[in-house]
Amino acid sequence: DADVTQTPRNRITKTGKRIMLECSQTKGHDRMYWYRQDPGLGLRLIYYSFDVKDINKGEISDGYSVSRQAQAKFSLSLESAIPNQTALYFCATSDPGLDTGELFFGEGSRLTVL
């Protein structure tokens, strides 16, 4: 089983719908992140959390919200999806003890908004 698990892996939805992407991890890391990946733009940080009580906006947080339900769970919500939120979304974790900057990614959630 993957150490960082994302659900759903693929989702097609319509404009205006509420969508939740879920992430769970078994690595025991405190730090969790949500990135989106678009062709030609690379990975861009949406939100990050360094512990259950800590939530921070990344560079492109507008239109998104997150919830850190437990150390191991970090979910991303699109309250009212729009077509330009069509992208590949990655959840990632990191170990603050090492502070090497290494991120451990989930397998990705491909979202299409029609």
Partner 1 sequence: QKEVEQNSGPLSVPEGAIASLNCTYSDRGSQSFFWYRQYSGKSPELIMSIYSNGDKEDGRFTAQLNKASQYVSLLIRDSQPSDSATYLCAVKHSNDYKLSFGAGTTVTVRA
Q: Nearest approach, Cβ of 103 to partner 1 (angstroms)?
A: 6
Residue number, 64 or 90, with CB nearest to partner 1: 90
Residue 113, phi then psi, degrees to nearest 5: -110, 115
Tokens matching residue 19: 């969508």
Residue number, 74 or 90, with CB nearest to partner 1: 90
Q: Among 63, 79, 87, which residue's Cα sits nearest to residue 17?
A: 79
**52 in contact with partner 1 (CB under 8 A):** no
Stretch that binds partner 1, among 11-19, 62-70, 77-85, 101-109 (CB under 8 A): 101-109
Instruction: Identify residues 60-99 at the interface with partner 1 (CB under 8 A).
Output: 90, 94, 96, 99
Residue number, 73 or 110, with CB nearest to partner 1: 110
**CB distance 108 to 23 below 8 Å:** no
**Residue that has been written with the tokens 């992407």 in this structure:** 21
Select from 44, 67, 77, 86 the one that contacts partner 1 (CB under 8 A).
Answer: 44
The maximal CA–CA distance of the chain, rounded, in angstroms, is 42
**Residue that has been written with the tokens 């949500």 in this structure:** 34
